[in-house]
């Protein structure tokens, strides 16, 4: 019994299998259903199967369906091609891809006629056919044909025919394909450019047009085939869209980063990590980033095709700060998942793939668009996904058949990216370079590993690209730049030698070493600490203690002068802790800079060279002259020079110098000196001095206000002092007394 | 004048160090450092606040000197480029 119950996994329906199904899988109603259709007793599977195997009954069964539709024939053909059984969902998917549309209903109809036998899944019992056929879950059931039915279909020429299931046959014309390597070359070119210059951004986050035009030079358009039409043009919307895609990839692959929302710069470490990965890891990383792309949206691509809102769309696509692609991450994942599950062998009509993506889960994409507030049509979106995004990463080839129908197929790169094919990591390419004595290195792109191209971009300038050959010029500048990025002469020579067709010329080796010698003459430390002490011996003692305390930490020490030493360490806080016991002054150029100037008088200020910060001293040199007679080695006295001040701060000169001095004079800028500076640099303050005055003081503020507004007060120009008093010139004393008497004011004379 | 400090510690400082004094002299002849806040220290070195590093590096590059760089160069955003819309406005004026 156990053997009879064991499910058959392939081939047409067998008698023993039907017996097992009747015994455990089917409900009584289902057994009766099949027995009624084919003849036999519901509790006798062998008899029912015998009826199903009779050629006449098979013909009758097909007659009951009526004339077979194109979809019916396609279903029978696909099922017999699959060996006589297949899951309903797989059949539906397969036929969607073959341009047959959604055949779910046709499958149900054929099952209701008993010609497709619905098989219970393992573990399923008491299957009620009537119920299952009404449910969406029906598509998860396996369907099978009997051998007798296959034989009849065979006689009618339906089975094993690709034409019946709509499989494409014929010739493709006008095919276009972009290679993954071309995309990566563009990414590398862009990353190399961003390593040398900053892409300026507008406030909106979109690149400044002038700046962008410099970076676009040398980028090739997708699927470019000849040198006349090779380059991208930022004025062509579809090209600009592709440029936006490249920048988003460069940023999200970690090859560049946005600084302060106003510029995009290269990330050396990210570029090195990516371009030196194996092909497989790079492919995986690229696909991951493409699927999660935030800075570019294929959802906006369709509107560039029909000319709607192009400026706004392009600005959004090129923006380095907007996340307009985030909402589509789920949609991309869905389409990749559909493509991975679809049987995409060879050329397939593009419309069929679009329909498959739309139909497989009808609600998913509309739901994603609705949640994101996007008014996108599913077919437009999927089309843009394929003809832009997938095409640009070299995953699909596009073409047309003889009737002009758009077709697509996965490229070898696409099969690899989607996981259908493994990368052959053992194909070691050698001899991809030809280094000429004039310092030009020609590299054959089809044979060049990505790391070789990356290294060439580090030490050379790409001066030409044509016919899959790139030419790099090695110059003192480019090679020294490469040395700055971590290469050295020996590794550069080894790289060129290993990949060169012929041994490297002695001249090249000599020059690469010589450039390294020259380059090594200057070292730039990006950030560190400077310790200064006017007693060199004391500085030595302090340094010895710091070395001892940091003996387990990386510490580079450069003696610059007897009383000056530069330290480079990652343990800066520990150094500061060690130095606490010595007191002294701390100057932090990214933090607090203590005031360093002493106010003397007028335009004169003083500072100590040992303790003043570099910025203050540097600016003083530009705006003042030293008063040599008053200077000593430990104290420098300077006098501000109005001409130099105007030159250094051409606008708002007085405000600028006051701001400079207020932040840097110990104890603040004295008022006396501020007045002196104002007198010298701006307009002299004005003052009126009154000699021989009479002061009239009223008892109340109200009385004072009334007196101040009298004709007499105005006539003698009474000057109010405080709230209740007025100063009046001596010559008006008598008339003032008369006026006050006339007004009835009681006076007291002092 | 405040009491003079014995030890002075400058933090976040960049250093350009030449192989020998002659190299520094040679570079100073070629370089225009007027715009840069910097200070010469000893016979081989120039120090500058870290904010000046990119300008110092660019000045060296402009003279064909590509120094060995130790540590990370933090690029500041600079304001050389106006926005496109500002450019358009300027052209209209």
The answer to whether B8 contacts A211, with C-beta atoms less than 8 Å apart, is: no
A527: left (phi over 0), alpha (psi -120 to 50) or beta: beta
Listed in sequence order, the DSSP H helices in A236-308 are: 237-252, 268-275, 279-291, 301-305
Q: Give the pair of three-digit tokens for residue A392.
A: 């640009």
Q: What is the sign of the dihedral through the CA atoms of A427, A430, A433 and A434?
A: negative
At residue A532, φ and ψ (nearest 5 deg) are: -125, 140
Residue A146 lies inside a defined structural domain of this protein: yes
The answer to whether B6 contacts A261, with C-beta atoms less than 8 Å apart, is: no
Listed in sequence order, the DSSP H helices in A43-87 are: 45-52, 55-65, 70-81
- Give the domain-ending residue among A519, A544, A568: A519
CA dist., res. A729 & res. A706, Å (int): 19
- Give the domain-ending residue among A468, A498, A519: A519
CA dist., res. A667 & res. A520, Å (int): 46
Verify that A320 and A361 share a domain, yes or no: yes
DSSP label at residue B83: P
Using CA atoms, how far residue A198 sits from A260, A275, A516, B68, B81, in Å, is 12, 21, 26, 21, 10
From the candidates B1, B3, B7, which should be mutated to test the interface with A, based on the most A CB atoms within 10 A?
B7
Question: Closest approach of chain B CAs to the CA of A264, in angstroms?
Answer: 9
pLDDT computed for residue B93 by the predictor: 46
Largest Cα separation within chain B, whole Å, is 59
Verify that A200 and A342 share a domain, yes or no: yes
DSSP label at residue B67: -
Residue A160 lies inside a defined structural domain of this protein: no
Q: What is the number of domains present in chain A?
A: 6
Verify that A192 and A320 share a domain, yes or no: yes
Verify that A227 and A262 share a domain, yes or no: yes
At residue A181, φ and ψ (nearest 5 deg) are: -65, -35
Name the 3-class secondary structure at A436: coil
Contacts of B15 in chain A (CB under 8 A): 523-525, 528, 530, 558, 560, 566
Verify that A46 and A100 share a domain, yes or no: yes
Residues 614-643 of A with CB under 8 A from B: 614-615, 617-619, 634-635
At residue A172, φ and ψ (nearest 5 deg) are: -100, 135
Verify that A533 and A399 share a domain, yes or no: no
Place of tokens 């563009």: A186
Q: Where are the beta strands (DSSP E) in A334-402?
A: 348-349, 396-400
Verify that A355 and A211 share a domain, yes or no: yes
pLDDT computed for residue A429 by the predictor: 58
Residues 690-709 of A with CB under 8 A from B: none
A vs B: CB pairs below 8 A: 233
Q: For the stretch A410-419, what's the b/e string if a residue is b when 16 or more beta carbons lie within 10 angstroms of its beta carbon?
A: bbebbebbbe
Nearest CA in chain A to B64: A477
CB A132 within 8 A of CB A138: yes
Residue B4 lies inside a defined structural domain of this protein: no
Choose the closest CB to B4 out of A576, A611, A618. A611
Q: Give the pair of three-digit tokens for residue A247.
A: 């920048």
Closest CA to A114 of A90, A130, A102, A94: A130
Find the radius of gyration of the CA atoms of chain A.
44
Nearest CA in chain A to B57: A524
Average of per-residue pLDDT values in chain A: 88
pLDDT computed for residue A305 by the predictor: 67
Residue A422 lies inside a defined structural domain of this protein: no
Burial of B74 (C-beta count, 10 Å sphere; 0-12/13-18/19+): middle
CB A669 within 8 A of CB A599: yes
Verify that A350 and A289 share a domain, yes or no: yes
Please enumerate, as own/partner, the contacts of B55-62 that have beta carbons within 8 Å and a separation of 24 or more.
B56/A524, B56/B14, B56/B16, B57/A524, B59/B31, B59/B32, B59/B33, B60/A522, B60/A524, B60/B16, B60/B27, B60/B31, B61/A477, B61/A481
Burial of A635 (C-beta count, 10 Å sphere; 0-12/13-18/19+): middle
- Give the domain-ending residue among A121, A155, A189: A155
pLDDT computed for residue B5 by the predictor: 46
Residue B14 lies inside a defined structural domain of this protein: yes
Verify that A326 and A396 share a domain, yes or no: yes
Angle of CA points A636, A638, A643, to nearest 5° = 155
Place of tokens 């930490």: A553
Is the Cβ of A533 closer than 8 Å to some Cβ of chain B?
Answer: yes
Choose the closest CB to B27 out of A522, A528, A539. A522
At residue A438, φ and ψ (nearest 5 deg) are: -85, 15
Residue B32 lies inside a defined structural domain of this protein: yes
CA dist., res. A432 & res. A495, Å (int): 11
Residue B85 lies inside a defined structural domain of this protein: yes
Residues 26-55 of B with CB under 8 A from A: 27, 36-39, 41-42, 44-45, 47-51, 53
Q: What is the number of domains present in chain B?
A: 1
Nearest CA in chain A to B50: A527
Residue B2 lies inside a defined structural domain of this protein: no
In terms of residue numbers, what domain contains B33?
9-93
CB A98 within 8 A of CB A165: yes
Residues 430-489 of A with CB under 8 A from B: 476-477, 480-481, 483-484
Residue A552 lies inside a defined structural domain of this protein: yes
> Residue A441: beta bridge partners?
A435, A472
The answer to whether B6 contacts A535, with C-beta atoms less than 8 Å apart, is: yes
A704: left (phi over 0), alpha (psi -120 to 50) or beta: alpha
Which of the four pLDDT bands, split at 50, 70 and 90, describes residue B58?
confident
In terms of residue numbers, what domain contains A457?
433-519
CA dist., res. A369 & res. A350, Å (int): 22
Contacts of A556 in chain B (CB under 8 A): 70
CA dist., res. A41 & res. A28, Å (int): 11
Q: Which residues of chain A have pLDDT under 50?
A: 1-6
CB A388 within 8 A of CB A301: yes
Closest CA to A573 of A539, A549, A602: A549
CB A465 within 8 A of CB A181: no
Verify that A538 and A497 share a domain, yes or no: no
CB A505 within 8 A of CB A544: no
Angle of CA points A566, A572, A576, to nearest 5° = 90
For A126-158, give the DSSP string: SB-HHHHHTSGGGGGSEEE-BHHHHHHHHHTT-
CA dist., res. A654 & res. A34, Å (int): 102
Place of tokens 């297949």: A86
Verify that A201 and A347 share a domain, yes or no: yes
Pairing, β B68-70 against β A522-533: parallel
Residue A72 lies inside a defined structural domain of this protein: yes
Q: Give the pair of three-digit tokens for residue A366.
A: 């509309």
pLDDT computed for residue A3 by the predictor: 39
For A640-663, give the DSSP string: E-HHHHHHHS-SSHHHHHHHHHHH
pLDDT computed for residue A5 by the predictor: 44
Verify that A60 and A113 share a domain, yes or no: yes
Residue A613 lies inside a defined structural domain of this protein: yes
Choose the closest CB to B14 out of A204, A524, A618. A524
Using CA atoms, how far residue A494 sits from A190, A321, A475, in Å, is 26, 41, 18
Residue B31 lies inside a defined structural domain of this protein: yes
DSSP label at residue A724: T
For chain A, give percent helix, strand, coil, nearest 5: 50, 15, 35
pTM to 2 decimals?
Answer: 0.65
Place of tokens 């397969």: A94
> Residue A720: beta bridge partners?
A726
CA dist., res. A93 & res. A101, Å (int): 9
Residue A318 lies inside a defined structural domain of this protein: yes
pLDDT computed for residue B4 by the predictor: 44
pLDDT of B78 higher than 60? no
pLDDT computed for residue B3 by the predictor: 41
What lies within 8 Å, CB to CB, of A9 at 6+ separation is none
CA dist., res. A52 & res. A34, Å (int): 9
At residue A521, φ and ψ (nearest 5 deg) are: -75, -20
The H-or-E segment that residue A540 falls in is helix A536-549
pLDDT computed for residue A561 by the predictor: 92
């Amino acid at each position: 019994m156990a053997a009879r119950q064991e499910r058959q996994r392939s081939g047409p329906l067998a008698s023993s299998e039907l017996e097992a199904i009747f015994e455990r899988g089917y409900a009584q109603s289902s057994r009766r259903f099949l027995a009624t259709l084919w003849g036999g007793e519901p509790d006798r599977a062998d008899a029912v199967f015998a009826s199903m195997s009779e050629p006449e009954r098979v013909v009758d069964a097909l007659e009951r369906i009526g004339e077979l539709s194109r979809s019916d024939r396609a279903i029978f053909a696909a099922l017999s091609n699959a060996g006589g059984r297949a899951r309903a969902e797989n059949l539906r998917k397969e036929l969607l891809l073959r341009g047959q549309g959604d055949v779910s209903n046709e499958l149900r109809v054929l099952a209701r006629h008993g010609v497709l036998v619905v098989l219970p899944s393992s573990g399923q019992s008491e299957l009620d056919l009537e119920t299952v056929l009404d449910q969406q879950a029906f598509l998860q059931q396996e369907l099978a044909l009997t051998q007798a039915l296959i034989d009849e279909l065979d006689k009618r020429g339906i089975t094993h025919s690709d034409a019946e299931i709509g499989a494409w046959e014929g010739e493709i014309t006008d095919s276009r394909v972009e290679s993954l390597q071309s995309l990566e070359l563009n990414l590398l070119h862009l990353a190399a450019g961003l390593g040398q210059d900053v892409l300026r951004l507008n406030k909106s986050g979109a690149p400044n047009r002038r700046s962008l035009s410099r970076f676009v030079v040398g980028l090739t358009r997708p699927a470019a085939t000849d040198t006349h039409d090779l380059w991208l043009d930022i004025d062509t919307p579809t090209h600009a869209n592709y440029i936006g895609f490249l920048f988003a990839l460069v940023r999200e692959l970690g090859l560049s980063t946005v600084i302060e929302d106003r510029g995009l710069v290269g990330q050396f470490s990210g570029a090195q990590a990516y371009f030196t990965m194996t092909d497989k890891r790079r492919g995986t990383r690229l696909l991951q980033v493409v699927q999660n792309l935030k800075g570019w949206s294929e959802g906006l691509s369709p509107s560039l095709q029909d000319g709607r809102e192009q400026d706004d769309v392009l600005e959004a696509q090129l923006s380095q700060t907007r996340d307009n692609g985030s909402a589509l991450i789920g949609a991309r994942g869905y389409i990749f998942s559909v493509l991975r599950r679809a049987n995409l062998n060879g050329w397939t009509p593009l419309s069929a793939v679009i329909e498959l993506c739309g139909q497989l889960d009808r609600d998913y994409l509309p739901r994603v668009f609705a949640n994101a507030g996007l008014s996108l049509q599913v077919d437009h979106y999927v089309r843009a996904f394929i003809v832009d995004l997938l095409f640009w990463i070299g995953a699909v080839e596009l073409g047309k058949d003889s009737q002009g129908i758009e077709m697509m197929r996965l490229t070898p790169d696409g099969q690899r990216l989607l996981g259908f094919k493994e990368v052959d990591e053992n194909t070691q390419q050698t001899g991809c370079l030809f280094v000429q004595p004039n310092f030009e290195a020609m590299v054959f792109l089809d044979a060049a590993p990505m790391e070789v191209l990356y290294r060439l971009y580090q030490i050379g300038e790409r001066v030409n690209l044509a016919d899959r050959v790139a030419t790099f010029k090695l110059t003192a500048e480019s090679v020294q730049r490469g040395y700055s990025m971590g290469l050295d002469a020996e590794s550069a020579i080894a790289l060129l030698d290993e990949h060169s067709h012929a041994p490297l010329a002695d001249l090249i080796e000599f020059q690469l070493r010589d450039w390294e010698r020259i380059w090594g003459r200057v070292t730039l430390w990006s950030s560190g600490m400077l310790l200064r002490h006017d007693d060199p011996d004391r500085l030595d003692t302090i340094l010895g203690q710091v070395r001892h305390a940091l003996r387990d930490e990386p510490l580079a020490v450069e003696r610059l002068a007897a009383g000056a030493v530069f330290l480079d360490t990652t343990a800066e806080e520990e150094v500061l802790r060690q130095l606490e016991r010595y007191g002294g002054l701390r100057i932090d150029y990214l933090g607090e800079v203590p005031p360093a100037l002493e106010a003397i008088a007028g335009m004169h200020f003083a500072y100590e060279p040992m303790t003043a910060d570099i910025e203050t001293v540097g600016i003083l040199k530009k705006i003042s002259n030293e008063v040599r007679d008053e200077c000593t080695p430990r104290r420098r006295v300077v006098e501000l020079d109005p001409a130099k001040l105007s030159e250094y701060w051409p606008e708002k000169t007085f405000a600028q110098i006051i701001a400079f001095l207020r932040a840097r004079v110990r104890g603040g800028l004295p008022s006396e000196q501020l007045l002196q500076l104002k007198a010298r640099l701006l307009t002299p303050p004005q003052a009126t001095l009154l000699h021989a005055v009479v002061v009239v003081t009223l008892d109340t503020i109200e009385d004072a206000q009334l007196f101040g507004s009298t004709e007499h007060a105005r006539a003698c120009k009474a000057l109010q002092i405080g709230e209740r008093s007025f100063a009046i010139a001596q010559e008006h004393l008598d008339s003032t007394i008369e006026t006050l008497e006339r007004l009835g004011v009681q006076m007291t004379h002092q | 004048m405040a009491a003079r400090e014995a030890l002075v510690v400058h933090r976040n400082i960049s250093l350009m160090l030449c192989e020998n004094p002659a190299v520094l002299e040679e570079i100073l002849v070629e370089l225009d450092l007027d715009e840069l806040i910097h200070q010469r220290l000893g016979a081989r070195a120039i120090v500058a606040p870290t904010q000046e590093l990119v300008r110092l590096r660019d000045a060296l590059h402009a003279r064909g000197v590509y120094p060995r760089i130790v540590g990370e160069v933090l690029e500041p955003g600079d304001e050389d480029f106006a926005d496109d819309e500002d450019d358009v406005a300027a052209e209209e004026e």
